[in-house]
A and B are shown apart, each in its own frame.
Chain A
């Protein structure tokens, strides 16, 4: 755990307590079974707004608390432990895009409503199934944006889109020229293809801003991945201590102990790179891009290891829908691919380091 100030400790503890009491994995399971088509939990999101967590990276003059990314990451990590279905990891970087952007009117109009949770904003960046360095084909002419964005997280419930176009980043509100199609995915969360057809767009900034916002979004989901990995690992560890075979708990078998020790080791490294990347944003460091790639590559590999081991070490029960292992497994795989998989980020890290 990073060294936290008093506000951060309080925020983390509150988020942990709220997630355990109000948003356990069972709540996500109910949401999935209800198949509402929204892909997030409106009641949970309402609470998140009331507690001010949607405004953690929103500047104070626009109704936020401006605690920063480490603080937001702590909340997302706690919610990630229980697979809480809130759009927090999407609204955060979207708010930062507006706050860092060049349109003062947009800040006044949207940031207070993002901060209080009344508006869900999200990023619409990728145009295909694999995140990479391709140029964007979405275009803006005479203030109107046209193009199709693929697998937009929280695309079903979002009222506001931060959209990457050829020449930079734009803000588009739901309404004229915006249509969407749900993509039902294994993780049972919200993903949608969004078609913009001459939608009114406000310019926020150039391609550098797009890159900066994608890095922040990437780093934030590693916080969710960290929470998931910790919880998945703890669940497996508890199971090994209770499941008895050959007359003894599975946790007494050295072959399994060493596999758990290996996962624990990787988890500690994962925590360092995730927290380090969040801190890099708050410190305004010049190598946020590198820390993002380091965090995402390590987080993807580690969560992959832990979520697959969760299924394997639970044996048959882990294969059943009734058990939570499958929920972690499916969300893991989606997050591994989101904002670039480990291979993409290794390649990018190497390029950023001159090889």
Chain B
């Protein structure tokens, strides 16, 4: 139970947040969102969008709980929640995002040197530098520790050679945080965490076209790329530990902690869509009883998931540690996302499978792409099968099968 004094404090902050947002959020942007820019790529900023990004970046409220000394907002979690509520209330989006915010920033704050934090964190907080992730390789997917990209010690620098794949947003990124091998004799302990400039000579990026038609991922090739030694985060051989910590940030943001729960609820509920496309019987029930039954299962699943997110957040707050429930979030979030899209195309019939051009509504064309893009959700950030391995071993204490 929060104390009365603490409640008063957050309410004082609410007034402050409200005033600042009123003065700085351009009315023309109300209700717009740039959440999809991570997938579709950055579009040309309008003057208002730029002004908003610079204003919130200057204030540090794009990364509200990061320390103020590195350009963050320095807010408490309670204050950050109030800020989020106030932004939602006026239809304001957070333009500061991407992998720097979701994954790299929190990890560097934990493991970086003072100089590294000073160099990189403020630029992320202002939304000035885009980061991409160099983890997966053609031969290292679920078995990530099999990665082969090699960073050879050349005295004052490393010489990096190898290939990364599934580099999200690689074609738009300024910098890459990568797992590289510094020791070929040890599997996990031979891995290090290295920061690489994407415009360094020898870095080549090729977008990968997906089944949805978009190219949010790239193949990234490193050929004799020189990387200064000060770009090593942590010690040599500590990369696996740091990289895993970063994946925890990734999973919590992919499963809903970072706002994708909101996206699950965004748009029309499937039941509404079905009523519109398929009609109802005399008593207002969806006429297709088989479809109706599957829609209820889905909507109940979604409700249960939302209640679990809330429960896990409350538990984390009161128990000062992550709740066991967090381990299920990625898989359940993925299944709900995919079920929703599958139901969507089924409800729309042929109109839910349009590719482009006339004859389809915007929503219908979106439905096709959302459905296809959604197949990635159970693969990236640790596939559903890997998540199940993690639950079995870490939570249930079942023994290793290898």
Contacts and interface: CB of A to CB of B under 8 A. Distances in A.
A315 to B, nearest CB: 17
A347 interface: yes
Interface string A258-280: 10111011001111110110000
Given A262-B388, A346-B293, A350-B295, A257 B398 contact: yes
B303 A350 contact: no
A241 B399 contact: yes
Contacts of B292: 350, 355
Interface string A334-353: 00000000010011011101
Interface in B256-287: 271-272, 274-275, 280, 284-286
Interface in B290-341: 292-293, 295-297, 299-301, 303-305, 307-308, 310-311, 314-315, 318, 324-325, 328, 331-332
7 contacts: A260-B398, A269-B304, A272-B304, A350-B292, A350-B296, A354-B284, A355-B295
Contacts of B400: 252
Most chain A CB within 10 A, of B1, B285, B296, is at B296
Most chain B CB within 10 A, of A253, A254, A347, is at A254
B389 A3 contact: no
A251 interface: yes
Interface in B366-402: 385, 387-389, 391-393, 395-401
Contacts of A262: 388
Interface size class of A (residues with CB under 8 A): 35 or more
Contacts of A343: 293
A261 B296 contact: no
A43 B154 CA distance: 79
A60 B299 CA distance: 39
B390 to A, nearest CB: 8
B399 A252 contact: yes
A269 B314 contact: no
A67 to B, nearest CB: 16
Given A272-B304, A355-B292, A264 B331 contact: no
A50 B300 CA distance: 39
A297 B300 CA distance: 9
Nearest to A349: B296
Nearest to A237: B396
A355 B315 contact: no
A240 interface: yes
Contacts of B396: 237, 257, 260-261, 264
B285 A350 contact: yes
B314 A268 contact: no
B328 A272 contact: no
A249 interface: yes
B388 A294 contact: no
Contacts of B387: 261
Given A257-B388, A294-B304, A268 B324 contact: yes
A355 B332 contact: no
Nearest to A257: B392
Contact of A257 (B274, B295, B389): B389
Interface string A1-25: 1110100000000000000000000
Contact of A350 (B286, B311, B399): B286
B332 A265 contact: yes
A135 to B, nearest CB: 17
What 6 pairs across the A-B complex have the smallest Cβ distances? A257-B392, A261-B388, A261-B391, A272-B307, A251-B398, A272-B308
Interface string A273-304: 10110000000000000000010011000000
B324 A252 contact: no
Contacts of A257: 388-389, 392-393, 396, 398, 401
Contacts of A3: 314-315, 318
Given A237-B398, A257-B401, A269-B301, 15 more contacts: A3-B314, A240-B398, A241-B399, A257-B398, A260-B392, A261-B387, A264-B395, A265-B391, A272-B304, A276-B311, A297-B300, A298-B300, A350-B285, A350-B296, A355-B272
Contacts of B398: 237, 240-241, 251-252, 256-257, 260
Nearest to A250: B398
Given A3-B318, A252-B398, A355-B286, A261 B392 contact: yes
Nearest to B304: A269
Contacts of A1: 315
Nearest to A302: B304
Given A355-B275, A355-B286, A251 B399 contact: yes
Contacts of A350: 271, 285-286, 292, 295-296
Contacts of B314: 2-3
Contact of A268 (B297, B325, B389, B393): B325
B385 A258 contact: yes
Nearest to A270: B304
A262 B328 CA distance: 9
Contacts of A273: 303-304, 307
B225 to A, nearest CB: 38
A355 B401 contact: no
Interface string B113-137: 0000000000000000000000000
A131 B328 CA distance: 33
Nearest to A355: B271
Most chain A CB within 10 A, of B314, B318, B396, is at B396
Nearest to B400: A252
A131 B294 CA distance: 22
Given A261-B388, A264-B395, A350-B295, A254 B331 contact: no
A346 B296 contact: yes
Given A237-B398, A241-B397, A258 B307 contact: no
A258 B383 CA distance: 13
A262 B332 CA distance: 10
B297 A355 contact: no
Contact of B304 (A5, A298, A346): A298
